[in-house]
């Protein structure tokens, strides 16, 4: 089996198509996975076991769902991805741009899992304040975020499981 090189993904992966295909709450194939992973992330992060200064999400993709349960447990979050387009998609959401993906069904679900302690608008604002950087990342390099370097070790590194079909190019 031959793997597709990074350049192909950099040129051909369409984050918008990916997000629409796996849109939560509309009976997509992603619903069960998101419900499962979000329940566990909420359980872990609301327990207080994982908390601290900085959380680095390795390979965020164009998504923020995995960061919603964590934003109350860390002072800052750094989202990273290999693809520039994925970083741009997260940045669009951070800046609340009109063409950013609508994460409100996922935000609502996370708020429900957390007992509706905050409104969806409050949760989104908290995550936007928590994400301090969106960086390119190549885990094959000795410094994955080159030319930048991160000061010190993060409190936590995470990577949501990749279970989606990769054939959404």
Q: Which domain holds residue 113?
A: 30-46+53-158
The model carries a pTM of 0.85
Residue 10 lies in a domain: no
Q: What would the two tokens of residue 18 be?
A: 């990916």
In a domain, 85, yes or no: yes
What's the confidence (pLDDT) of residue 142? 79
CATH for 70: 3.40.50.150
Write down the pLDDT at residue 34. Answer: 85
* Run means of pLDDT, 10 residues per run, the chain, 169 residues: 71 89 71 88 91 90 95 93 95 97 95 96 98 90 77 68 43
Total structural domains in the chain?
1
**6 in any annotated domain:** no
User: Is 129 inside a domain boundary?
Assistant: yes
């Amino acid at each position: 089996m031959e793997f597709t090189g990074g350049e192909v993904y950099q040129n051909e992966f369409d984050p918008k198509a990916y997000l629409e295909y796996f849109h939560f709450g509309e009976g997509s194939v992603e619903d069960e996975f998101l419900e499962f992973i979000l329940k566990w992330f909420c359980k872990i992060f609301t327990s207080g076991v994982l908390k601290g200064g900085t959380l680095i999400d390795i390979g965020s993709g164009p998504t923020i769902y995995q960061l919603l349960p964590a934003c109350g447990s860390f002072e800052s979050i750094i989202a990273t991805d290999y693809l520039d387009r994925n970083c741009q998609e997260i940045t669009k959401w951070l800046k609340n741009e009109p063409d950013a993906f609508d994460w409100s069904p996922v935000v609502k679900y996370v708020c429900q899992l957390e007992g509706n302690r905050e409104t969806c608008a409050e949760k989104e604002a908290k995550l936007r304040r928590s994400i301090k950087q969106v960086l390119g990342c190549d885990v094959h390099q000795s410094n994955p975020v080159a030319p930048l370097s991160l000061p010190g070790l993060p409190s936590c590194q995470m990577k949501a499981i990749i279970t989606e079909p990769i054939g959404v190019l």
